[in-house]
Amino acid sequence: MTYLQKLATIVNDTIAPAAQATDRDSAFPRTAITALGEAGLLGLVSATTVGGMGLGLAEAAQVVERIAEACPSTAMVVTMHYCGTTVLEKFGNEATRKDIAAGHHLTTLAWSDTGSRSHFWAPVGSARQDGNEAVLDGSKTMVTSAGEANSYVWSTCPVAATGASTLWQVDSKLAGISEPKFFDGMGLRGNRSSPLTAKSLRLSNSAMLGTDGGGFDIMIGTVLPVFATLIASCSIGLMEASLKSSCAHVSGNKLEHLGSTLADLPTIRAYIARARIQADMARTLRDDTIAALAAGREDAMLRVMQVKVAAAEAALQVTDTAMRVCGGAAFRKDVGVERYFRDARAASIMAPTSDVLFDFIGKAVCGMPVFG
């Protein structure tokens, strides 16, 4: 059975049936994550040498997109797991890598500090040396899978080196980590994106990922391409679901006094057409981003910055269109539109936000330093 066949079974039997309850109850999708782990899909991008599937970004994008069609909350959990795994595959210890590959370990990123918020590349939390240990202090505004992941890829200011940041592998059960409040969001309600605080958190020096002060290069060079592509895939998946629900609604409901369906109205079809084009353009850009990264093209990083913002903004418009064409019925949860409308709002305000990315892209196009 291929990984996509395994995924289809889990989506149809586990993720989709629980999606409404996951949203309604702000329930972390633990059953889905367990099933994905047992199927080897949490180890999708883990190396074969540690027992993983050894697959890459293109396959991860397929997985995330398909999950997002059913439950964007679960897709976000998987997205952040793949991002964290990408770091741990390069810099983590072998035992953790084997646990991820075996489906026993869920990881995530913990980057956005309370003091610098969506500017995740500039943490303000501290790390200091105390004998053979590092002591971390700081707070994160939103951490996907907070309290549910087995580990966090945590960012701080450097201990002693120059540079913007240092990354650490933090066991989520360590003393010193607290969750000040439970996540109760408008959308992506099941992804447990709570704030976390570290107070006098003690780590072995071996928990450092990469070099002291080398976090920025890992964030931008290693993780951002994966993060941007997979967040875009979440947006693409939920756009696809919104379009399917919208088309089903307008084709299946009649204006009986006119003897026609809603889809017989040219204005409705025009709205659907525009939404279809927007979704397809986002998918095309996502696929080209993957191709650019694989080929090492000069425009690869530009594509990385473009793909997240393009898909996020398209999702805002497509889900708005879905609400519009479904009319009053769109407010009902059983129609299957309003949940995606709410979930789509997250990508545009998730660091780096759409507004920040527009600025970065503008700088790049004008030949200016992006982070200057």
Q: Kindly report, residue by residue over 301-354, the tens digit of the pLDDT.
A: 999 999 999 999 999 999 999 999 998 888 988 888 999 999 999 999 999 999
Q: What is the DSSP string of 130-154?
A: ETTEEEEEEEEEEETTTTTSSEEEE
**367 torsion bin: left (phi>0), alpha (psi -120 to 50), beta (else):** left
pLDDT band at 297 (very low <50, low <70, confident <90, very high): very high
According to CATH, where is 1.10.540.10 located in the chain? 3-106
CATH number of 3-106: 1.10.540.10
According to CATH, where is 2.40.110.10 located in the chain? 110-213
On the question of pLDDT at 54 being above 90, the answer is yes
Report the mean per-residue pLDDT for the chain.
95
On the question of pLDDT at 271 being above 90, the answer is yes
**80-87: average pLDDT:** 98
On the question of pLDDT at 96 being above 80, the answer is yes
On the question of pLDDT at 254 being above 80, the answer is no
According to CATH, where is 1.20.140.10 located in the chain? 216-365
Answer yes or no: are the C-beta atoms of 140 and 170 closer than 8 Å: no
Give the CATH class of 110-213.
mainly beta
Strands 151-156 and 107-110: parallel
**16-22: average pLDDT:** 97
**32-51: average pLDDT:** 98
**SS3 state of residue 177:** strand
When the candidates are 4.10.640.10, 1.20.140.10, 1.10.10.10, 3.40.50.970, the CATH number that belongs to 216-365 is: 1.20.140.10
Look up residue 55 and give its two tokens: 């697959």
On the question of pLDDT at 129 being above 80, the answer is yes
Q: Tell me, what's the pLDDT at 329?
A: 87
From the list 93, 75, 86, the residue with the least C-alpha distance to 33 is: 75
Answer yes or no: are the C-beta atoms of 202 and 134 closer than 8 Å: yes
Q: Tell me, what's the pLDDT at 174?
A: 95
Q: Kindly report, residue by residue over 111-126, the tens digit of the pLDDT.
A: 999 988 888 888 999 9
Q: Tell me, what's the pLDDT at 255?
A: 66
| Percent of residues, the chain, with pLDDT higher than 90 | 88
Residues recorded for the chain: 372
Sequence letter at residue 290 = I
Beta bridge partners of 166: 156
On the question of pLDDT at 259 being above 80, the answer is no
Q: Kindly report, residue by residue over 184-227, the tens digit of the pLDDT.
A: 999 999 999 999 999 999 999 999 999 999 999 999 999 999 99
Rg (CA), the chain: 21
Tell whether pTM > 0.85: yes
